[in-house]
Amino acid sequence: MHVRTLVRGLAATLAVAFALAGGQAAAVPSTTADGALAPRVLTYDASGAAEFKTAVNRGAAIWNESVDGVELRPVAAGQRANIRILADNGWPRALPGALGNGTVYIGRQAVNQGYDTVRISSHELGHILGLPDRKPGPCSSLMSGSTAGTSCKNPYPNAAEKAEVEENFGGALVLPTGAPRNAVIVD
Ligand SMILES: [Zn+2]
């Protein structure tokens, strides 16, 4: 019990440190009434996602259906989101910050080539949740990204990808796996 409290306190301290260092909204773990670890709530702002808003909301909903450790919610008006989602004319990419924070670009270059917008959205959100690319890979893998081809419309993480995200958000002191903080992950 003592150790758990200490670990939780340390995690909160780290989250504050990230917020101070990166200027980003901190994702602080919370607990339910019975002391169990509640899903980490991360907010996202899709107001800059232009024609991809619906796809982005679907991608977020897919993660909510797929994992228990984290929940993606649209940010309330006037609040700062953990995740910013923007549309642009480049290739889709993610700029992860501290685990669960960052910016995602839904790039029209891939959309114009025929890649599925919901798969792109959940793939890029996967990077924010700490997953690296797994390329080349099959359509059953979300993080195989574009290597699965334009015919692949699967927006769901596979069992291993789900487990990795659960692990990322289940442990209080787990830092981002995958790319180093602030690196750009293209596609
Ligand atoms: Zn990727």
**Average pLDDT score, the chain:** 84
Domains of the chain, first to last: 29-186 (3.40.390.10)
Structure tokens at 148: 């699965």
Q: Can 124 be counted among the known catalytic residues? A: yes
Helix H or strand E segment including 22 = helix 2-22
Question: Nearest CA to 59 among 6, 117, 101?
Answer: 117
Confidence of residue 39 (pLDDT cuts 50, 70, 90): confident
Q: Say how many Å lie between the CA of residue 10 and the centre of ligand 1.
A: 31
Confidence of residue 32 (pLDDT cuts 50, 70, 90): low
- Which of 124, 161, 166, 167 does the annotation list as catalytic? 124
CA 161/CA 177 separation, integer angstroms = 12
Q: Is the pLDDT of residue 20 over 90?
A: no
Q: Say how many Å lie between the CA of residue 8 and the centre of ligand 1.
A: 31
More confident residue, 1 or 90: 90
What percent of the chain shows pLDDT beyond 70? 71
Q: Say how many Å lie between the CA of residue 116 and the centre of ligand 1.
A: 14
* Strand pairing report for 40-48 and 70-74: parallel
Q: Say how many Å lie between the CA of residue 72 and the centre of ligand 1.
A: 19
Q: What is the pLDDT of residues 159-170, one digit of tens each?
A: 999 999 999 998
Please give the biggest Cα pair distance in the chain.
55
Where does residue 41 rank: exposed (0-12), middle (13-18), buried (19+ CB within 10 A)? middle
